[in-house]
Amino acid sequence: MSTGGDDQSGSDDVSTGGENPGGTGPGAGSGGGTATSTTATTVEDLRLEIPVERPRRAENFVALCFTVSVLATIGLAITYSLGGQPQAEGALLGLGLAGIGIGLAAWGKYLMPQGPFVEDRHELPTTEKDKQAFGAAFSRGQVAVERRGFLGKLLGAAIGVFSIVGIFPFIRSLYNPRPGNQLDYTQFRRGSRLVQINGRPVMADDVDVGGVLTVFPEGHEGDAVSQTLLIRASSVPITTLPGRETWSPHGYLAYSKLCTHAGCPVSLYQQQVQQLLCPCHQSVFTILNGARPIFGPAPRLIPQLPIMDNGDGFLRAQSDYQEPVGPGYWERNTSTTLNPPKKAAGQ
Protein backbone atom coordinates (compact mmCIF):
# COMPACT_ATOMS: atom_id res chain seq x y z
CA MET A 1 0.00 0.00 0.00
CA SER A 2 1.31 3.36 -0.88
CA THR A 3 1.76 5.90 1.80
CA GLY A 4 2.14 9.59 2.05
CA GLY A 5 5.56 9.66 3.67
CA ASP A 6 7.90 12.05 1.98
CA ASP A 7 11.34 10.88 2.75
CA GLN A 8 11.27 7.69 4.69
CA SER A 9 13.31 4.94 3.23
CA GLY A 10 11.37 1.80 2.67
CA SER A 11 8.10 3.18 3.89
CA ASP A 12 6.36 1.32 1.12
CA ASP A 13 5.99 -1.88 3.06
CA VAL A 14 3.89 -0.32 5.75
CA SER A 15 0.46 -1.80 5.60
CA THR A 16 -2.60 -0.99 7.56
CA GLY A 17 -3.20 -3.48 10.27
CA GLY A 18 -6.89 -4.12 9.82
CA GLU A 19 -9.68 -2.55 11.82
CA ASN A 20 -8.99 0.43 13.90
CA PRO A 21 -11.03 1.59 16.83
CA GLY A 22 -11.83 4.93 15.33
CA GLY A 23 -13.86 3.16 12.70
CA THR A 24 -12.19 4.75 9.72
CA GLY A 25 -9.31 3.66 7.62
CA PRO A 26 -6.00 5.35 8.15
CA GLY A 27 -5.69 8.50 6.17
CA ALA A 28 -3.07 7.12 3.92
CA GLY A 29 -5.11 4.04 3.27
CA SER A 30 -8.07 5.63 1.65
CA GLY A 31 -5.86 6.93 -1.07
CA GLY A 32 -8.42 9.39 -2.27
CA GLY A 33 -6.60 12.68 -1.99
CA THR A 34 -6.63 15.07 0.83
CA ALA A 35 -10.15 15.56 1.98
CA THR A 36 -11.45 12.02 2.20
CA SER A 37 -10.44 10.80 5.60
CA THR A 38 -12.47 12.85 7.94
CA THR A 39 -12.00 11.71 11.49
CA ALA A 40 -9.11 12.14 13.80
CA THR A 41 -6.19 10.17 14.99
CA THR A 42 -5.68 7.07 13.10
CA VAL A 43 -2.67 6.36 15.24
CA GLU A 44 -4.86 4.34 17.60
CA ASP A 45 -4.42 1.69 15.03
CA LEU A 46 -1.52 -0.31 16.38
CA ARG A 47 0.38 -0.72 13.18
CA LEU A 48 3.58 -2.08 14.49
CA GLU A 49 5.00 -2.73 11.07
CA ILE A 50 8.35 -1.19 10.68
CA PRO A 51 9.99 0.36 7.69
CA VAL A 52 12.96 -1.95 7.17
CA GLU A 53 12.91 -5.34 5.54
CA ARG A 54 15.68 -6.87 7.59
CA PRO A 55 15.12 -5.74 11.16
CA ARG A 56 17.96 -7.95 12.43
CA ARG A 57 20.54 -5.77 10.76
CA ALA A 58 19.05 -2.66 12.26
CA GLU A 59 18.90 -4.39 15.63
CA ASN A 60 22.56 -5.30 15.41
CA PHE A 61 23.47 -1.77 14.50
CA VAL A 62 21.57 -0.33 17.44
CA ALA A 63 23.11 -2.91 19.76
CA LEU A 64 26.56 -1.98 18.48
CA CYS A 65 25.91 1.69 19.15
CA PHE A 66 24.81 1.06 22.71
CA THR A 67 27.77 -1.23 23.32
CA VAL A 68 30.21 1.34 22.03
CA SER A 69 28.58 3.84 24.36
CA VAL A 70 28.98 1.60 27.39
CA LEU A 71 32.63 0.92 26.58
CA ALA A 72 33.42 4.57 25.90
CA THR A 73 31.77 5.65 29.13
CA ILE A 74 33.71 3.08 31.13
CA GLY A 75 36.83 4.39 29.40
CA LEU A 76 35.81 7.89 30.41
CA ALA A 77 35.47 6.84 34.04
CA ILE A 78 38.94 5.30 33.95
CA THR A 79 40.51 8.34 32.28
CA TYR A 80 38.84 10.61 34.76
CA SER A 81 39.91 8.66 37.79
CA LEU A 82 43.47 8.52 36.51
CA GLY A 83 43.61 12.30 36.55
CA GLY A 84 41.92 13.22 33.32
CA GLN A 85 43.13 14.32 29.92
CA PRO A 86 41.02 16.83 27.99
CA GLN A 87 41.20 15.30 24.51
CA ALA A 88 40.57 11.78 25.76
CA GLU A 89 37.73 12.98 27.98
CA GLY A 90 36.11 14.84 25.11
CA ALA A 91 36.46 11.92 22.71
CA LEU A 92 35.17 9.31 25.16
CA LEU A 93 32.35 11.51 26.43
CA GLY A 94 31.44 12.25 22.84
CA LEU A 95 31.41 8.58 21.92
CA GLY A 96 29.48 7.63 25.02
CA LEU A 97 26.76 10.15 24.29
CA ALA A 98 26.72 9.79 20.53
CA GLY A 99 26.49 6.01 20.92
CA ILE A 100 23.27 6.38 22.90
CA GLY A 101 22.05 9.03 20.48
CA ILE A 102 22.73 7.27 17.21
CA GLY A 103 21.41 4.00 18.62
CA LEU A 104 18.18 5.59 19.78
CA ALA A 105 17.65 7.54 16.60
CA ALA A 106 18.25 4.42 14.52
CA TRP A 107 15.88 2.43 16.72
CA GLY A 108 13.25 5.07 16.17
CA LYS A 109 13.84 5.33 12.47
CA TYR A 110 14.13 1.65 11.53
CA LEU A 111 12.46 -0.36 14.25
CA MET A 112 9.44 1.66 15.24
CA PRO A 113 6.16 2.23 13.42
CA GLN A 114 6.47 5.08 11.00
CA GLY A 115 2.88 5.47 9.96
CA PRO A 116 2.42 7.77 8.23
CA PHE A 117 -0.42 8.61 10.51
CA VAL A 118 -2.86 11.38 10.01
CA GLU A 119 -4.26 13.73 12.55
CA ASP A 120 -6.77 16.53 12.16
CA ARG A 121 -5.65 20.05 12.69
CA HIS A 122 -8.27 21.69 14.84
CA GLU A 123 -9.63 25.12 14.10
CA LEU A 124 -7.78 27.57 16.28
CA PRO A 125 -10.51 30.18 16.76
CA THR A 126 -13.29 29.11 19.09
CA THR A 127 -16.94 29.38 18.11
CA GLU A 128 -18.93 32.58 18.11
CA LYS A 129 -20.84 31.21 21.07
CA ASP A 130 -17.66 30.74 23.08
CA LYS A 131 -16.56 34.25 22.33
CA GLN A 132 -19.85 35.68 23.42
CA ALA A 133 -19.84 33.63 26.59
CA PHE A 134 -16.38 34.99 27.32
CA GLY A 135 -17.52 38.53 26.67
CA ALA A 136 -20.47 38.08 29.00
CA ALA A 137 -18.30 36.65 31.74
CA PHE A 138 -15.89 39.51 31.41
CA SER A 139 -18.50 42.26 31.43
CA ARG A 140 -20.05 40.81 34.55
CA GLY A 141 -16.83 41.58 36.39
CA GLN A 142 -16.30 44.81 34.53
CA VAL A 143 -19.65 46.14 35.65
CA ALA A 144 -18.80 45.33 39.24
CA VAL A 145 -15.45 47.09 38.96
CA GLU A 146 -16.71 50.14 37.12
CA ARG A 147 -19.47 50.67 39.62
CA ARG A 148 -16.68 51.76 41.98
CA GLY A 149 -14.77 53.69 39.34
CA PHE A 150 -13.37 56.10 41.87
CA LEU A 151 -11.77 53.30 43.86
CA GLY A 152 -10.34 51.90 40.68
CA LYS A 153 -8.63 55.17 39.88
CA LEU A 154 -7.27 55.42 43.40
CA LEU A 155 -5.95 51.89 43.12
CA GLY A 156 -4.24 52.84 39.88
CA ALA A 157 -2.69 55.85 41.56
CA ALA A 158 -1.51 53.77 44.51
CA ILE A 159 0.14 51.18 42.29
CA GLY A 160 1.56 53.82 39.98
CA VAL A 161 3.11 55.88 42.75
CA PHE A 162 4.46 52.75 44.36
CA SER A 163 6.10 51.61 41.14
CA ILE A 164 7.81 54.92 40.53
CA VAL A 165 8.95 55.45 44.08
CA GLY A 166 9.81 51.81 44.53
CA ILE A 167 12.01 51.69 41.48
CA PHE A 168 13.83 54.88 42.37
CA PRO A 169 16.02 53.63 45.23
CA PHE A 170 16.76 50.53 43.23
CA ILE A 171 18.17 52.51 40.34
CA ARG A 172 19.68 55.24 42.47
CA SER A 173 21.54 52.79 44.65
CA LEU A 174 23.29 51.51 41.58
CA TYR A 175 24.73 54.95 40.86
CA ASN A 176 27.89 54.99 42.78
CA PRO A 177 29.26 57.34 41.74
CA ARG A 178 27.06 59.35 39.38
CA PRO A 179 28.48 60.29 35.99
CA GLY A 180 28.99 63.95 36.88
CA ASN A 181 31.80 65.25 34.74
CA GLN A 182 33.96 62.15 35.06
CA LEU A 183 34.07 61.72 31.33
CA ASP A 184 35.36 65.24 30.75
CA TYR A 185 38.63 64.98 32.65
CA THR A 186 41.52 62.63 33.23
CA GLN A 187 43.86 62.47 36.23
CA PHE A 188 46.54 64.63 34.61
CA ARG A 189 47.18 67.94 36.37
CA ARG A 190 49.66 70.69 35.76
CA GLY A 191 53.03 69.27 36.70
CA SER A 192 52.00 65.59 36.87
CA ARG A 193 55.03 63.50 36.10
CA LEU A 194 54.54 60.94 33.36
CA VAL A 195 55.19 57.49 34.80
CA GLN A 196 55.12 53.98 33.42
CA ILE A 197 52.80 51.26 34.67
CA ASN A 198 55.37 50.28 37.32
CA GLY A 199 55.48 53.86 38.63
CA ARG A 200 58.85 54.69 37.13
CA PRO A 201 58.96 58.35 35.96
CA VAL A 202 59.92 58.96 32.36
CA MET A 203 63.04 61.04 31.77
CA ALA A 204 63.62 63.06 28.65
CA ASP A 205 66.30 60.73 27.33
CA ASP A 206 64.56 57.46 28.18
CA VAL A 207 63.11 56.81 24.77
CA ASP A 208 64.93 56.75 21.46
CA VAL A 209 63.45 58.33 18.38
CA GLY A 210 60.92 55.85 17.03
CA GLY A 211 60.11 54.43 20.45
CA VAL A 212 56.83 54.48 22.39
CA LEU A 213 55.76 54.08 26.00
CA THR A 214 52.41 53.85 27.72
CA VAL A 215 52.36 56.44 30.47
CA PHE A 216 50.06 57.60 33.27
CA PRO A 217 49.94 60.56 35.61
CA GLU A 218 52.03 59.79 38.69
CA GLY A 219 49.90 58.09 41.33
CA HIS A 220 47.36 56.79 38.82
CA GLU A 221 49.28 53.97 37.22
CA GLY A 222 46.99 51.76 35.19
CA ASP A 223 44.16 54.32 35.12
CA ALA A 224 41.89 53.37 32.24
CA VAL A 225 40.97 56.95 31.36
CA SER A 226 44.34 58.67 31.71
CA GLN A 227 46.35 56.13 29.74
CA THR A 228 48.52 57.99 27.29
CA LEU A 229 50.79 56.95 24.48
CA LEU A 230 54.13 58.75 24.59
CA ILE A 231 55.80 58.70 21.19
CA ARG A 232 59.31 59.92 20.53
CA ALA A 233 58.57 60.96 16.98
CA SER A 234 61.62 63.12 16.50
CA SER A 235 64.48 64.68 18.41
CA VAL A 236 63.18 68.21 18.01
CA PRO A 237 59.80 69.69 18.99
CA ILE A 238 56.94 69.18 16.55
CA THR A 239 54.06 71.57 16.17
CA THR A 240 51.15 69.30 15.42
CA LEU A 241 48.56 72.06 15.23
CA PRO A 242 48.70 75.84 15.56
CA GLY A 243 48.85 76.72 19.24
CA ARG A 244 50.67 73.55 20.19
CA GLU A 245 54.17 74.92 19.68
CA THR A 246 55.36 74.04 23.18
CA TRP A 247 53.58 70.71 23.56
CA SER A 248 56.30 68.35 22.44
CA PRO A 249 59.64 68.89 24.16
CA HIS A 250 62.48 66.82 22.65
CA GLY A 251 60.09 65.57 19.97
CA TYR A 252 57.86 63.67 22.41
CA LEU A 253 54.22 63.54 21.38
CA ALA A 254 51.71 62.44 24.01
CA TYR A 255 48.33 61.31 22.73
CA SER A 256 45.47 59.82 24.69
CA LYS A 257 45.47 56.08 24.21
CA LEU A 258 41.69 55.96 23.97
CA CYS A 259 40.45 55.69 20.41
CA THR A 260 37.92 58.38 19.60
CA HIS A 261 35.80 55.69 17.99
CA ALA A 262 34.99 53.15 20.70
CA GLY A 263 37.71 53.61 23.25
CA CYS A 264 40.13 50.79 22.44
CA PRO A 265 43.76 51.48 23.30
CA VAL A 266 45.33 52.86 20.14
CA SER A 267 48.67 51.25 20.40
CA LEU A 268 50.28 50.37 17.11
CA TYR A 269 52.79 53.03 16.11
CA GLN A 270 54.03 52.80 12.57
CA GLN A 271 57.13 54.88 12.55
CA GLN A 272 57.78 54.83 8.81
CA VAL A 273 54.55 56.65 8.02
CA GLN A 274 54.14 58.34 11.42
CA GLN A 275 50.72 56.78 11.90
CA LEU A 276 48.83 55.16 14.75
CA LEU A 277 46.58 52.21 14.12
CA CYS A 278 43.72 51.17 16.35
CA PRO A 279 43.53 47.37 16.41
CA CYS A 280 39.80 47.22 17.05
CA HIS A 281 38.37 48.63 13.85
CA GLN A 282 41.50 49.76 12.07
CA SER A 283 41.18 53.51 12.40
CA VAL A 284 44.41 55.19 11.30
CA PHE A 285 45.67 58.49 12.72
CA THR A 286 48.51 60.65 11.44
CA ILE A 287 50.48 61.80 14.44
CA LEU A 288 52.37 64.74 12.99
CA ASN A 289 49.25 66.83 12.49
CA GLY A 290 47.32 66.17 15.67
CA ALA A 291 46.38 62.47 15.29
CA ARG A 292 43.87 63.19 12.61
CA PRO A 293 41.93 60.09 11.55
CA ILE A 294 42.49 59.37 7.88
CA PHE A 295 40.89 55.98 7.67
CA GLY A 296 38.31 53.97 9.56
CA PRO A 297 35.36 54.84 11.74
CA ALA A 298 37.05 57.17 14.24
CA PRO A 299 35.33 60.55 13.93
CA ARG A 300 37.73 62.85 15.74
CA LEU A 301 41.36 63.73 16.29
CA ILE A 302 42.88 62.02 19.30
CA PRO A 303 43.38 64.59 22.06
CA GLN A 304 47.00 65.53 22.62
CA LEU A 305 48.45 66.03 26.08
CA PRO A 306 50.61 69.15 26.41
CA ILE A 307 53.83 68.07 28.09
CA MET A 308 56.93 69.90 29.24
CA ASP A 309 60.43 69.42 30.58
CA ASN A 310 61.15 71.87 33.39
CA GLY A 311 64.85 71.29 33.11
CA ASP A 312 65.04 68.54 35.73
CA GLY A 313 64.79 65.89 33.05
CA PHE A 314 61.33 64.61 34.03
CA LEU A 315 58.55 64.74 31.49
CA ARG A 316 55.49 66.39 32.98
CA ALA A 317 52.02 67.38 31.90
CA GLN A 318 51.47 71.08 31.31
CA SER A 319 47.81 70.55 32.23
CA ASP A 320 45.05 68.04 31.77
CA TYR A 321 43.92 67.26 28.25
CA GLN A 322 42.18 70.27 26.84
CA GLU A 323 39.18 68.32 25.67
CA PRO A 324 37.52 65.08 26.80
CA VAL A 325 39.36 61.93 25.76
CA GLY A 326 37.84 58.78 24.30
CA PRO A 327 34.64 58.13 22.40
CA GLY A 328 31.78 60.58 22.08
CA TYR A 329 28.94 60.87 24.56
CA TRP A 330 25.84 62.97 24.77
CA GLU A 331 27.08 65.55 27.26
CA ARG A 332 30.37 66.05 25.47
CA ASN A 333 30.60 69.70 24.62
CA THR A 334 32.22 69.64 21.26
CA SER A 335 32.76 73.32 20.69
CA THR A 336 36.51 72.91 21.02
CA THR A 337 36.74 70.22 18.43
CA LEU A 338 34.11 71.41 16.01
CA ASN A 339 35.60 72.62 12.78
CA PRO A 340 39.17 71.80 13.73
CA PRO A 341 41.77 73.63 11.72
CA LYS A 342 41.74 71.88 8.38
CA LYS A 343 44.87 70.38 7.03
CA ALA A 344 45.17 68.03 4.16
CA ALA A 345 44.61 64.45 5.16
CA GLY A 346 47.62 62.23 4.90
CA GLN A 347 51.09 63.51 5.49
Partner 1 sequence: MEDRGIELARWFDDRLGVARISKTALNKIFPDHWSFLLGEIAMYSFAIIIITGIFLTLFFVPSTKEVIYNGSYVPLRGQRVSEAYQSTVDISLNVRAGLVMRQMHHWAADIFAAAIVVHLCRIFFTGAFRRPRELNYMIGLTMLILVIVNGFIGYSLPDDQISGAGLRIAFSIFLSIPIIGTWGAFLLWGGNFPGNGDIIPRFYSLHILILPAVIAGLLAAHLGIMWHQKHTDFPGKDKSNRKVVGSSFWPTYTAKTTGYFFIIFGGLALLGGLFQINPIWLYGSYEPYKVSYAVQPDWYMGWLDGALRIMPAWETQFASRYLISAPFSRPGSGRRTRPWSITSSTGPAIDPFAPGSGSGSCPST
Q: Which does 100 bind (CB under 5 to 8 A by kind): ligand FES, partner 1, none?
A: partner 1
Q: Which residues pair with 270 in a beta bridge?
A: 275
Residue 8 contacts partner 1 per CB under 8 A: yes
Indicate whether 299 belongs to the interface with ligand FES (CB under 6 A): no
* Continuous segment of H or E residues that includes residue 140: helix 128-146
Among 147, 153, 190, 281, binds ligand FES (CB under 6 A): 281
Residue 257 interacts with partner 1 (CB under 8 A): yes or no = yes
Stretch of 40-48, 128-136, 236-244, 305-313 contacting partner 1, by CB under 8 A: 40-48
Identity of the residue, 147 or 281, whose beta carbon is nearer to ligand FES in the bound complex: 281
- CA-CA distance, 172 to 180, in Å (whole number)? 14
Of 98, 106, 262, 273, which one interacts with ligand FES (CB under 6 A)? 262
Query: 280 burial class (0-12, 13-18, 19+ CB within 10 angstroms)?
Result: middle
Residue type, 280: C
Q: What is the rounded distance in angstroms from the CA atom of residue 274 to the CA atom of residue 248?
A: 15
For the chain, report the end-to-end CA distance as a whole number of angstroms: 82
73: number of CA atoms within 13 Å, CB side?
Answer: 11
Distance CA 343, CA 239 (A): 13
Identify the residue among 278, 305, 307, 308 touching ligand FES (CB under 6 A): 278
User: Among 43, 68, 106, 280, which residue interacts with ligand FES (rule: CB under 6 A)?
Assistant: 280
Restricting to residues 184-203, which ones interact with partner 1 according to CB under 8 A?
Answer: 197
- List the interface residues with partner 1, window 275-334 (CB under 8 A): 275, 277, 279-284, 292-301, 326-334
Residue 346: CB minimum distance to partner 1, A: 5
Q: Which of 21, 16, 22 is nearest to 39 (CA)?
A: 22
Taking the complex as a whole, the smallest distance from the CB of residue 140 to partner 1 amounts, in Å, to: 27
Contact (CB, 8 A) for 209 and 233:
yes
- Please report whether residue 178 would count as binding partner 1 according to CB under 8 A: yes
Q: Which is nearer to partner 1, 251 or 328 (CB)?
A: 328
- CA–CA distance from 99 to each of 62, 63, 74, 86 (Å)? 9, 10, 13, 19
Q: Tell me which stretch binds ligand FES (CB under 6 A): 58-66, 148-156, 256-264, 267-275.
A: 256-264
List Cβ neighbours of 237 (8 Å cut-off, separation of 6 or more): 245, 246, 247, 248, 249, 250, 251
- Tell me: does residue 254 bind partner 1 (CB under 8 A): no
From residue 45 to residue 74, what is the string marking binding to partner 1 with x (rule CB under 8 A)?
Answer: ------------------------------
Contacts with partner 1, 133-172, as mask; x by CB under 8 A = --------------------------------------x-
According to CB under 8 A, which one of 194, 207, 225, 317 is a site residue for partner 1?
225
Question: Exposed, middle or buried by CB within 10 Å (0-12, 13-18, 19+), for 263?
Answer: middle
- The residues, any chain, with a CB within 8 Å of residue 188's CB and separated by 6 or more, are 217, 226, 228, 305, 317, 319, 320, 321
Q: Which is nearer to ligand FES, 115 or 326 (CB)?
A: 326
| CA-to-CA dists, residue 86 to 73, 77, 89, angstroms | 15, 13, 5
Closer residue to ligand FES, CB minimum distance, 98 or 262: 262
Q: With CB under 8 A as the contact rule, which of the stretches 132-140, 153-161, 243-251, 268-276 interacts with partner 1?
A: 268-276
Sequence-ordered list of residues with C-beta below 8 angstroms from that of 104, at least 6 positions apart, any chain:
62
Site residues (CB under 6 A) for ligand FES? Answer: 259, 261-264, 278, 280-281, 283, 296-298
